[in-house]
């Protein structure tokens, strides 16, 4: 496995290096302390796992996370010295696959990273091949989503959600299914973030001229991708 550690504190590095080497034999590791070096490693090193320390003195870690998400589909985990629900929401919204407080035990760290890698692997293995619905075209192999020929800039999680909905061909995507798709066994912790992702996707779709694609809410059930402009909420439950 290839891992990239973006950090601002030596203490964090020593602890995480020990945990990574304990969990993954033959690990290839790159390190960066600046935004420029981090993005260079993402392009050239092509990591499978990216760990971002939120305590970066000269770098906006959320901005860096968003930039990384536009370049890579690697599993990205934010690391924070102090847990903050606001930072958790912001990290997930920016495309993080997990958010952990450090220091953390090697056992828990390895387990959380392995869970995030498994979720990414399940999605990749189960969703191969292009998907088309209305004016929406999605190609997982190239990580591209287009509406009416215009490319959408999506985070990895936004791409997963939209691809899942496109494959359902207009059927309802249930809340629990979407939460499990993204966060697996941690779905209950991150569940409230789902609404944020849907809001972002709506803005992306609405920003395409004559795109005619929209996402409507089915109250208490989930969301439905519509081929054609529609109201945001459906008052009745539609069959799944």
Residues 12-25 pLDDT 10s: 677 788 888 888 98
Q: What is the mean pLDDT of residues 47-67?
A: 86
Residues of the chain with CATH 1.10.10.10: 130-227
Domain 130-227 has CATH 1.10.10.60: no
Helices (H), the chain: 10-23, 35-45, 61-71, 85-94, 106-126, 156-167, 175-183, 187-190, 194-206
Q: Which two tokens stand for residue 101?
A: 């407080």
- Rounded to whole angstroms, how far apart are CA atoms 168 and 162? 10
- Rounded to whole angstroms, how far apart are CA atoms 222 and 84? 28
Looking at residue 41, its pLDDT comes to 94
- pLDDT tens digits for 150-203? 999 887 778 888 999 998 888 999 999 888 887 776 676 666 778 888 988 998
Residues of the chain with CATH 3.40.50.2300: 2-125
Looking at domain 2-125, its CATH architecture is: 3-Layer(aba) Sandwich (3.40)
- Rounded to whole angstroms, how far apart are CA atoms 5 and 110? 15
Looking at residue 129, its pLDDT comes to 66
- Rounded to whole angstroms, how far apart are CA atoms 95 and 104? 22
């Amino acid at each position: 496995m290839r891992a990239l550690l973006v950090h601002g504190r030596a203490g964090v590095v020593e602890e995480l290096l020990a945990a990574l080497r304990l969990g993954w034999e033959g690990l290839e590791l790159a390190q960066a302390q600046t935004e420029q070096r981090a993005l260079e490693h993402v392009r050239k090193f092509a990591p499978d796992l990216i760990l971002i320390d939120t305590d970066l003195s000269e770098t906006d870690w959320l901005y860096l996370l968003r930039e990384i998400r536009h370049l890579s589909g690697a599993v990205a985990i934010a690391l924070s010295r102090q847990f903050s629900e606001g930072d958790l929401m912001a990290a997930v919204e920016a495309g993080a696959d997990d958010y952990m407080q450090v220091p953390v035990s090697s056992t828990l760290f390895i387990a959380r990273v392995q869970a995030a890698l498994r979720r990414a692997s399940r999605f990749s293995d189960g969703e191969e091949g292009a998907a088309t619905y209305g004016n929406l075209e999605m190609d997982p192999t190239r990580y591209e989503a287009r509406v009416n020929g215009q490319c959408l800039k999506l985070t990895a999680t936004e791409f997963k959600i939209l691809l899942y909905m496109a494959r359902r061909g207009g059927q309802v995507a249930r809340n629990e299914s979407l939460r499990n798709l993204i966060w697996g066994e941690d779905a209950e912790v991150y569940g409230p973030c789902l609404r944020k992702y849907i809001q972002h996707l709506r803005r992306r779709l609405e920003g395409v001229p004559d795109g005619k694609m929209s996402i409507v809410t089915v109250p208490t059930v989930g969301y439905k991708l519509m081929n054609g402009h529609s109201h945001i909420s459906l008052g009745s439950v539609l069959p799944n």
